Structure 1
Amino acid sequence: MIEIRYASAGDERYWFELDKHLSKKEYSNKILQNQCYIIEEDKKCFGIIRYNLFWDLIPFLNLIYIDPGFHKRGIGRAAMLLWESEMRKLDHKLVMTSTMVEESSQHFYRKLGYKDCGCLIKDFEPFAETMEMFMMKPL
């Protein structure tokens, strides 16, 4: 059975196999704030979710990763719906995420009701990359 639970300090080794962008100090902070989730089946971890608060107000999904061997089983959708439910319980009325324009995840988010709401273009070195699009969904 698929389970989605808050990450703990004991998950650190697994977490950093998948998330190369978060510092260990920030991981500790996120654990305390319940802003990291582990997705597992029969105690075997195969995915993670991480978020923060945009403008210290709006839940912003920074990362959802599901091992490719578990794709096309509805797990990503279930994980997103659980996260959105958790955000409702915390009395949030809106959630956000972003994706690079060339990534197919934008279609996944649109199927879940997210709408395009802007973009970010970083065209200066050494940070230049393709456009990042932002998406929002009312809860």
Structure 2
Amino acid sequence: MKIGIATEQDYTFIIDRDKHIPESLVRTKIQEKEIYIIRDSESKVGWMRFGYFWDNIPFMNMLWIDEEYRGQGIGKEIVLLWEENMRQRGFELVMTSSQSNEEAQHFYRKLGYRDAGCLLLDSQPLEVILTKNL
């Protein structure tokens, strides 16, 4: 398994799968090195995308791993890599979120993330906000 920063060649892979971001922003995210791609040999099997909360706290917006590759430690590997990259860039805190009805919140807690609050939007499950000191 190989994890790397997304390039322009990954654009179609991302827009075909990530429906939580406008296509118009994907190229900017790629240029800003805010998307990581997970590869198994030549196949792309997942991605992680981040931005910045309040423009200065790294916030992991999306982590997706194809079903057949889950449970193998890949998610942990990419999160730890991202955290290390953020630490090297001088950040002391990172954030993410998960809907309260998703298993992901438990995954993040196992990696040391702590509940920091929640967000409730109309017709959406409760969104749990998680933070981690680096």
Tell whether the structures are fold-level matches, with TM greater than 0.5: yes
Shift of 1:44: 1.2
Q: Deviations over 1:63-103 (max 9, x none)?
A: 00000100111111101100111111111100000011011
2:64 counterpart SS class: strand
Alignment correspondent of 1:17: 16
1:56 counterpart SS class: coil
Letter in 1 for 2:64: Y
2:82 counterpart SS class: helix
Aligned-partner Cα distance in 1 for 2:119–2:10: 32
Alignment correspondent of 1:119: 118
Aligned-partner Cα distance in 2 for 1:53–1:122: 20
- After TM superposition, the score normalised by the length of structure 2 is 0.96
2:14 counterpart SS class: helix
- After TM superposition, the score normalised by the length of structure 1 is 0.93
Aligned-partner Cα distance in 2 for 1:80–1:42: 20
Identity %: 40
Letter in 2 for 1:137: K
Gaps of 5+ in 2: none
1:102 counterpart SS class: coil
Alignment correspondent of 2:50: 51
In the TM superposition, structure 1's runs of 4+ consecutive aligned residues that sit over 6 Å from their partners are none
Alignment correspondent of 2:71: 72
Aligned-partner Cα distance in 1 for 2:65–2:87: 23
Shift of 1:17: 2.4
Alignment correspondent of 2:130: 135
